[in-house]
Amino acid sequence: MPRRPMMAGNWKMNKTVAEAQEYTAGLLPRAADAEEVDVAVFAPFTCLHEVARMSEGSAVIAGAQNFYYEDSGAFTGEVSAPMLLDLGARAVIVGHSERRELFGETDEMVARKARRAVQAGLLPVVCVGETKEERDSSPDGMWEKVSGQVGRVIEDLEDAGGEDLIFAYEPIWAIGTGETATPDDAQDAIGKIRDLLRESRGEGFAEGVRILYGGSVKPGNAAEIMAQRDVDGALVGGASLEVESFVELIEAAQNSVSRQD
Ligand code: PEP
């Protein structure tokens, strides 16, 4: 079974409820045209319920950008998996580099979150990636970092199937910088991630896992990135904030499927 591409927008800390409503109303009819692509919107907690409510029964998957792995209790400021499900979320970003770098999330925490999301029935989009310094630090500094991050996550997911999770390879030096990895760099890293999944969990698992690329994806470079063999879509920050540019990205994903047919 070919993997279904995903085009995922990460709004980060942007949009009021009114702005989210306007965006979602504009996106829904356009996303419906992309029949062979999963379209996901990762909204802030404050407008997630509205995005989920408006998207119910549509092609758009509403997701959160983070959560905590305990279900309830004395964790001031945190939001749990059951709370996200209650809002109508179906997916959640786990271990975005901004969470790791600015809020101290460790590989251990990311692994626990990915495990809890899968158990709860939320689709985790687990982010991995290296800094520029790590990439340049040794002949394969990228892989030293990324293999450790991926390995730690799948260690805790022994009961999961490949379709239960998504990885997003996001080189940190390419996020929000305008600097994109070349399509070959994206394929190289993502191909290696799939090889690692194959070695540790077998062919069926590795072929089921969708692996996205993220880092300054925009309408001008999406088609080339989507054309790479192992790239199953993109996680997009800046270019997902306007409906028009996000729709162009969705169309690039849809065209990548049509080209394979
Ligand atoms: C992201 O937020 O995951 C991201 C890749 O951002 P941008 O597309 O703005 O680089």
Ligand 1 pocket check for 179: Cβ under 6 Å: no
Catalytic residue among 96, 105, 134, 248: 96
* Catalytic residue check, 49: no
Q: For the chain, which domains are there? A: 6-260 (3.20.20.70)
**For 208, phi and psi rounded to 5 degrees?**
-85, -25
Q: What is the pTM of this model?
A: 0.96
Cβ of 236 closer than 6 Å to ligand 1, yes or no, is yes
What's 90's DSSP letter? -
* 3-state secondary structure string across 133-149: HHHHHCCCHHHHHHHHH
Task: State the pLDDT at residue 261.
Answer: 60
Of the listed 130, 134, 170, 248, which one is catalytic? Answer: 170
* Count of alpha carbons within 13 angstroms of residue 102, beta-carbon side: 5
* Residue 96 designated active-site: yes
Q: Looking at the predicted structure, is the pLDDT value of residue 84 above 90? A: yes
Whether the per-residue pLDDT at 260 is higher than 70: the answer is no
Rg (CA), the chain: 17
- The Cα 66–Cα 8 span in angstroms is 15
The pick from 126, 179, 217 for probing ligand 1's pocket by mutation, whose C-beta has the most ligand atoms within 8 angstroms, reads 217
Confidence check: pLDDT of 141 > 70: yes
Mutate to test the pocket of ligand 1, among 99, 170, 218, 242 (most ligand atoms within 8 A of CB): 170
pLDDT at position 112 is 98
